[in-house]
Amino acid sequence: MATAGNKIKVVCRIRPFLKTEKPDSAVSVEGDTVLRVTNPRDTTKDVKFNFDSCYGAKVGQDVIYKADVRPLVESVFSGMSATVFCYGVTGAGKTHTIQGTDTDPGIIPRALEHIFMHKQHDPLDYDIRVSYYEIYKEAVFDLFKPRDSAGGSGLPIREDASRKIFVAGLSEKRVTSYEQFDAMYQRACGNRRTASTKLNNHSSRSHAILTVQVQWKDTVGSGKTWCGRLHLIDLAGSEDNRRTENGRDRMAESSAINRSLFVLGQVVEALNTGASRIPYRDSKMTRILQDSLGGDSQGMMIVNVSPGEAFLQDTHNTLNFATKSREVVNKPVAHEVVEQRWSAVDRLQHHRGAGRAVRSAVVAAGGVAAKRRWSEEAGGSDTDGSPGHDSAPGSAGSSSTAAGSKRRISPAVPPNRSSDGTSRRPPLAGHPQPQQADFVQKVVSAKFNEISQKSESASNQIMERVMRIEKQLNGAQLDSNAVIDLFTPATKLKTSRGWLKHARELEQKGELERALAHYEEALKYAPELNKLEAHIAKLKARIRRQKRRSSLASHGEANVRVADQVKKPGAAGSENMMLSGRAGGPGADEEDEEEDVGPLWLIDGLAESPGAEKAKRRALASKAAPSAAAANGAKKKANGALKPVPKSSEQAPPAKALFAPKEPPANGVAAKPGPKRVKLGDASKKNPLASMAGKSRFVSVTEGSVHDSHRLSFGTSSHNPFVVGGDEFQSDLQDRIERKNASLATLRATKLDSKSSAAARLRRVLQEPVTPDDRRDKDYVLGSDHADSDDDFESGAHAMAKKGKAKARRAGRAPGSLGVRGLLEKRLSEGSEDAGRPERLSDVSAKSKASPSAAEEKLSLGQFNEICLASAVQMINSGEVKKIMKLQGIGKRRAEQIQASVQSVGPIVHISDLKHRLQFKNKLILDILSTFA
């Protein structure tokens, strides 16, 4: 008895205010069918919702039951299936409505009372069975069985030959009176999982489904057996975990609840839009509700809402969903019971298309074995143990009664079977014998199980992904990558192309930052596009440069003023003192703008003209003995005398190398290899810091090209313990690393194939791009982050001193003999005022001279750092700042400004003096520090 399509009935119920709640009503009933709710976006306005019925807070359980539920319960006696489910957010009154209390019983007790009443007054012999189960964290548990008897994974959900859903292994209880049912039901309710949350003291943590099956034989009329079913469902409430403040366990439950409710929404949406795929299988709850949502069951949804303003948004969402659900159309039919059910093999054949030979074999073997197997699989039980009710793939919640088939469809009897389940034909000659059939059946069963497992595992994987996303959504931390993960490759590609198109347009318009954001979006969808990644890196560098330029423009005016002051004769900066080295005023530097000076001065303390540099290289190569002039220079440094900064017009004194003679022998004869040669090789092998420093130095000495100096500048700044910490430094460092990598990549692409000597140099230098990991190496070596204070420096120095001591011991020397390191250590232990500070260049130099054996030593890492620092100090004092800046890729104007600022400070003893004196006044200072440090 099929009916025309019926829309799901939607009834709304407002719960009364609880004692603990503020009575600020936001929901009211207008007439019988309209619900008026304050608009959450504009609380001065109301929104109206239409439902089949609306009940205010004062309406009792009996009214709702009689008006809306009772007719559905009655329909069960016509062989129909009906489903009533309560939907709403946590604490809205679902459990109260469906279950009720002892004094105010809800729909379940009332419906069962009604059914037994009907049975009493009807001459037909009704067989009433109930099952009760919950879906907790996507697993089905029998509530009629003690909780600890259930396994962790719960019961499987299956589909029978007529595509009806059932829970395999679920117990069904035959009940003959309401009292009997009530006793069982009360016990079963105790098995249900509830917990106290912030929003509900007795919050249901699972969806609970009670199924009542009423079966009877029409002895008076057709003689057929009919079966009506009633599903009464208390859904767990959706939860906003920002408000529930759920802990880990509750969160896991909540996540499963929300996810299944989300799928419910998807199902409703798909049904309304006529989608080809309805995602029933995406959650156990929707799978079980399949017949009730768009199926052949009559459906009714009770929407429970909380009355207060606090739940306004939730209420609004619930009502929107309910409105959509009203559009779902079911096609209810009466269910006739067909005595014989299909075997597992038949079902497999029917659904999975197993081969004809297999089927014949199984049929030949007779239905008995198949029947027995099915019975074991379903694992049905019965309170009275009557064999006639052992198992059946009948419907949701029915595992131990005969299966029902819809009247409108052809009987679910396999075409080659008689009604008693045996084959219509005798086994044919050549067909498999029973043993063979057993074997075939085993194979088929195994295949069946394998397929089920696969589909189960696939669906679990999807669940997990959805759960992950939902978890992030709950924590308001939407990880877009997780969402992108869900897209198909085609969608990803398409989306990526869309972003790319926009990005290119923006880039052409010069809107670089927006373009960058679009490119980055595109990359998210197509991470395999290496070219795009490279383009993004370039664009980032370009943006940074632009920013730098604009920041320069904003600082320009002030700095130019400082520079002017410095230039004035007699002004504070003009009497700057220096340790040694040539004058390096702005004017002098300008001449050298394109000069390929390399970072030699960082090693040897002084910048020199190309001629002097060549001479120095020669000297280094020939290990010449120190010339008299060099010795003289060193002597002066040893005295630590501070000299006035020479005017830019004055001739700068020749540069002095610390451990190498600065000038070639006067007679021009190649000098004999001497003891002063600087080697870093050993230190380089020891740790990454030394290795970086070593490489840098090697490059600077032998190559001396601007590109090499990039490497040095990075090496020194990122490995120096005196760098300025903080985000700005980090970003600056990152910026430089990226710029460097970009330029190195370009150089590689353009020059490495060339046979020129420059390319050969590059090939040696550009082994690997510098990565941020190098910075971690530095932290590892120094054992601390950036040293912002002298204390930090001291701890760094302590570490260095300790290392030096150990090294000295290994080499059989006294710790103090290591020059700077030994002295440093001594000073630290004496607690002198300058403890922890690096030696001045002059001191270092003097000690080296005084102790040739120490100077003969290979330079240790600590020494190298100290020399670098001392050299930087010297550079600052001698006004060579601009040159360094240029090497850093800083523009000419900017470099001049920085130079002026540094000079305004006056002579410094240690690099950190800059920091203290200028007190990080602006970005300019940070630039200086990060460059020098």
Residues that bind ligand ATP (CB under 6 A): 15-16, 18, 88, 90-96, 200, 202-204, 236-237, 304
5 is in an annotated binding site: no
Contacts of 71 (CB under 8 A, 6+ apart): none
Tokens of 160: 């029978």
92 is in an annotated binding site: yes
Nearer to ligand ATP (CB atom), residue 18 or residue 621: 18
Nearer to ligand ATP (CB atom), residue 95 or residue 871: 95
Nearer to ligand ATP (CB atom), residue 94 or residue 837: 94
94 is in an annotated binding site: yes
Q: Given phi > 0 = left and psi -120 to 50 = alpha, else beta, which region is 27?
A: beta
849 is in an annotated binding site: no
Element (H, E) at 648: none
User: What is the separation of C-alpha 346 from the centre of its chain, rounded to a whole number of angstroms?
Assistant: 46
Tell me the β-bridge partners of 210.
132, 232
Nearer to ligand ATP (CB atom), residue 93 or residue 581: 93
Backbone angles phi, psi at 404, to 5 degrees: -100, 145
Nearer to ligand ATP (CB atom), residue 84 or residue 678: 84
Nearer to ligand ATP (CB atom), residue 285 or residue 500: 285
Place of tokens 């003690």: 146
Nearer to ligand ATP (CB atom), residue 83 or residue 203: 203
Tokens of 534: 């490279």
Q: How far is the CB of 93 from ligand ATP (least distance, A)?
A: 3
91 is in an annotated binding site: yes
Q: How far is the CB of 103 from ligand ATP (least distance, A)?
A: 11
Q: How far is the CB of 209 from ligand ATP (least distance, A)?
A: 14
Contacts of 817 (CB under 8 A, 6+ apart): 808, 851, 853, 854
Radius of gyration of the chain (CA): 43
Residue nearest ligand ATP by beta-carbon distance: 237
Q: Where are the beta strands (DSSP E) in 222-286?
A: 225-234
Q: How far is the CB of 233 from ligand ATP (least distance, A)?
A: 12
Q: How far is the CB of 501 from ligand ATP (least distance, A)?
A: 47
931 is in an annotated binding site: no
Q: How far is the CB of 317 from ligand ATP (least distance, A)?
A: 14
Which is nearest to 311 in space by CA: 476, 20, 92? 92
Contacts of 393 (CB under 8 A, 6+ apart): 158, 159, 160, 161, 164, 166, 341, 342, 347, 374, 378, 399, 403
For helices 757-765 and 727-751, angle between their N-to-C axes, nearest 10 degrees: 140
Nearer to ligand ATP (CB atom), residue 200 or residue 391: 200
Nearer to ligand ATP (CB atom), residue 16 or residue 816: 16
Nearer to ligand ATP (CB atom), residue 236 or residue 312: 236
Nearer to ligand ATP (CB atom), residue 171 or residue 246: 246
DSSP code of 351?
A: H
Q: How far is the CB of 154 from ligand ATP (least distance, A)?
A: 20
CA-CA distance, 451 to 449, in Å (whole number)?
A: 5
Cα–Cα distances in angstroms (integers) from residue 475 to residues 195, 239, 251, 557, in the given order: 21, 12, 11, 48
SS3 138: coil
CA-CA distance, 20 to 307, in Å (whole number)?
A: 13
Q: How far is the CB of 325 from ligand ATP (least distance, A)?
A: 17
Nearer to ligand ATP (CB atom), residue 89 or residue 808: 89
Place of tokens 């239905």: 367
DSSP code of 66?
A: I
Cα–Cα distances in angstroms (integers) from residue 842 to residues 577, 580, 847, 852, 931, in the given order: 14, 9, 8, 15, 23
CA-CA distance, 562 to 565, in Å (whole number)?
A: 5
Nearer to ligand ATP (CB atom), residue 101 or residue 832: 101
Element (H, E) at 530: helix 530-567
90 is in an annotated binding site: yes
In sign, the C-alpha dihedral spanning 593, 597, 601, 602 is positive
CA-CA distance, 154 to 38, in Å (whole number)?
A: 42
305 is in an annotated binding site: no
Q: Given phi > 0 = left and psi -120 to 50 = alpha, else beta, which region is 418?
A: beta
Numbers of helices and strands, H then E, in the chain: 36, 23
For helices 530-567 and 512-525, angle between their N-to-C axes, nearest 10 degrees: 150
Contact 230, 111 (CB under 8 A): yes
User: What is the separation of C-alpha 631 from the centre of its chain, rounded to a whole number of angstroms?
Assistant: 63
Nearer to ligand ATP (CB atom), residue 204 or residue 405: 204
Contacts of 623 (CB under 8 A, 6+ apart): 671, 672, 673, 674, 675, 676, 677
Nearer to ligand ATP (CB atom), residue 239 or residue 880: 239
CA-CA distance, 691 to 696, in Å (whole number)?
A: 8
Tell me the β-bridge partners of 232.
84, 210
Q: How far is the CB of 291 from ligand ATP (least distance, A)?
A: 23
For helices 107-121 and 178-191, angle between their N-to-C axes, nearest 10 degrees: 160
Contact 729, 794 (CB under 8 A): no
**Binding site for ATP: what residues are annotated?**
88-95
**Binding site: what residues are annotated?**
88-95
